[in-house]
Amino acid sequence: MDEAKSFSSALQSAQDIHIDVSGAENSGKEMIMKHFLNINPDSDKSSYSMKKLLKIENEQYNIRLTTSTGQESLMGVSDVRYRNAQGCVFVYSIGSRESFELFHTIKESILRIKDTDHFPFLIIGFGNVSMERNVSTAEGQRVADRANCKFQEIMRTKDIEPALLNFVKETISFSALREKDNEEEENKASEQFIGVIGDVFSGKTSFIKLATSGKPQLDYKETKACSPAQWKFTYNNESHVVALVDTPGVVQAYPRELFGKVQALVMIYSVSSRQSFEQLGILRERVLSAKGVSKLPTVLIATKSDLPENMWQVTEQEGKALAEKMGCCTFEQVSLLTECPTIESTVSQLLQEVKRCHTSSMEAFTSLDRSGVLNKTSKSLKKFRPKTYIIKDGVMYVTDGTISSKSPKLPLMEDTSVEMLPTDPTKNAFPFEVCNIAGKMFLSATCDEDRSSWVETIISNIALSNVLSSLLDDVAKVMLWEIITSPDLHAEPEVDPATLSKDKKKISKVQRSKTEGQVPSSPTHGEEKKSFRSTLKKGSF
């Protein structure tokens, strides 16, 4: 009784491994299954699914073998089995070439249903020494080599269990590797990129090291290139996968291919360096320019807060004021020489802001029209002229309040680009550039929020234009294809014999006129129109 309970408990906790045993009805597959599962050879079942509990490398596995009555060629009979299978044992009789040639059909069916190019197969040639052989060992091995799978001929029943046990181990390894690959792909798909920017010696790399490993970095290592470091953490029962992109302190421009993925920023400065504090505005503008947006969810972190106050060059009030000015969702003062429990909560708050901004952006996408006052300027920001700009039906107009036929305009087509330009707080200028093949505009808003709103509306119109352009291209291609492939285009025109006779007479008359030096009279407009309509009606045009 206790043994039964123990076995039942082990069976419930064991990991299921599904192995399908396929082959022709008289291939010997049932005998192989029964010997492996210790089933009475005299038992007769047309279809069954049996289990065997195995302990492999201190892990319990519940091996489930499935098979059918050999009707693999019937569509749908084996689909469910193949879909659940983690490995396949194909059995053929060495005395039956027909059972041997069934392998390719089963293999293609499994790969199609599993939607993969790689799957564990074991080919078993089953028979005995007295059997008349119709499939040689070399043929079986050659097919297995082409399919990149294991092959074994079994002539004795005692060889069945070792062969299947080795294949079960191979299937378990393959399944574990597949699960790991799937997990990495899922993590990569859900990975959120966060750029970490700041001046040299501000503590960017130390922040990333402390976040990803939980250990402070006590020695300085120079960051020479932008590089992402993956960080997985759980906060408030919510799992996150983040790529923290480390950056050099001195950089002329951030790489677009990497910073195009960045969804948020961690801005870092040292309380002992006013230069690192003042550099943040420039570094932030370079990131936004590389990203092609007006703002990103941001947190501001002041490092080296453990230093004596007489070494501080930036006060806490100045840090809070900068965070408010740049629209940061939070501001922290930390020491990176010890464990910092607030890092996870800070980054989690930043990710929540990313989610909120994404929702807002989707809502803003539906708003394609906009009007308001912007300053028309130049790249040097020397002169400013206020004008009323209106975006309507995918076109940006420069107006005095209403659109007229003389209003300068810039179509927001798929070739249009919009780029943020460095701000000039002294002039209260938040400039951006809109350009395409039709022209270029340098514009300036009075605040960052207004500039962001205009840029989002312009980007939405460009995106819509891209979609419409693609649809029109597809429609044009379909129409052109239908015209080219139309049988009417290549059919010989139907010509009325009477009309053909008249046309020949006209040609002869023209030729005679040319010979006699006479110019044939042109048909009147009515005659020409009638002739044209007749031609269309007869289908010879």
Same domain, 352 and 382: no
In a domain, 490, yes or no: no
74-84 mean pLDDT: 70
- pLDDT higher than threshold 70 for residue 185: no
Total domains, the chain: 4
220 Cα distance to chain centroid: 37
In a domain, 489, yes or no: no
What is the distance between the alpha carbons of residues 15 and 338, in angstroms, rounded to a whole number? 42
Cβ contacts of residue 260 below 8 Å, gap of 6+? 290, 291, 292
In a domain, 486, yes or no: no
Position 7 scores a pLDDT of: 47
Same domain, 32 and 57: yes
Cβ contacts of residue 16 below 8 Å, gap of 6+? 61, 62, 64
The residue among 364, 395, 411 that closes a domain is 364
CA angle 5, 56, 175 (to 5 degrees): 110
507-519 mean pLDDT: 54
Which CATH number covers residue 476? 2.30.29.30
- pLDDT higher than threshold 80 for residue 198: yes
358-374 mean pLDDT: 68
In a domain, 487, yes or no: no
Which of the residue ranges 84-88, 137-141, 314-318, 532-536 would you say has the lowest mean pLDDT? Answer: 532-536
Helix (H, G, I), strand (E, B) or coil at 445: strand
Helix extents (H) in 79-218: 79-84, 97-100, 103-114, 137-146, 160-190, 204-213
- pLDDT higher than threshold 90 for residue 35: no
Position 331 scores a pLDDT of: 93
The residue among 136, 153, 184 that closes a domain is 184
Position 9 scores a pLDDT of: 56
Same domain, 404 and 308: no
Same domain, 275 and 360: yes
In a domain, 457, yes or no: yes
Same domain, 92 and 220: no
417 vs 498, higher pLDDT: 417
Domain membership of residue 417 as a residue range: 370-480
Which of the residue ranges 4-8, 29-33, 193-197, 467-471 would you say has the lowest mean pLDDT? Answer: 4-8
Which of the residue ranges 68-82, 94-108, 277-291 would you say has the lowest mean pLDDT? Answer: 68-82
What is the distance between the alpha carbons of residues 222 and 406, in angstroms, rounded to a whole number? 58
Task: List pLDDT tens digits, range 271-299.
Answer: 999 999 999 988 888 888 777 677 789 99
What is the distance between the alpha carbons of residues 440 and 293, in angstroms, rounded to a whole number? 18
pLDDT band with cut points at 50, 70 and 90 for residue 539: very low
Same domain, 34 and 176: yes
Same domain, 111 and 16: yes
Parallel, antiparallel, or unpaired for β 49-56 and 59-66?
antiparallel
CA angle 423, 424, 425 (to 5 degrees): 110
Same domain, 45 and 142: yes
The residue among 120, 153, 184 that closes a domain is 184
Task: List pLDDT tens digits, range 257-275.
Answer: 777 778 889 999 999 999 9
In a domain, 465, yes or no: yes
Same domain, 155 and 14: yes
In a domain, 138, yes or no: yes
Parallel, antiparallel, or unpaired for β 298-303 and 227-235?
unpaired
Same domain, 137 and 17: yes
Position 127 scores a pLDDT of: 92
129-156 mean pLDDT: 93
In a domain, 167, yes or no: yes
Which CATH number covers residue 29? 3.40.50.300
Same domain, 210 and 161: no
What is the distance between the alpha carbons of residues 3 and 1, in angstroms, rounded to a whole number? 5
Residue with tokens 């009309």: 499
Same domain, 471 and 501: no
56 vs 363, higher pLDDT: 56
What is the distance between the alpha carbons of residues 269 and 276, in angstroms, rounded to a whole number? 5
221 vs 535, higher pLDDT: 221
Helix (H, G, I), strand (E, B) or coil at 46: coil
pLDDT band with cut points at 50, 70 and 90 for residue 129: confident
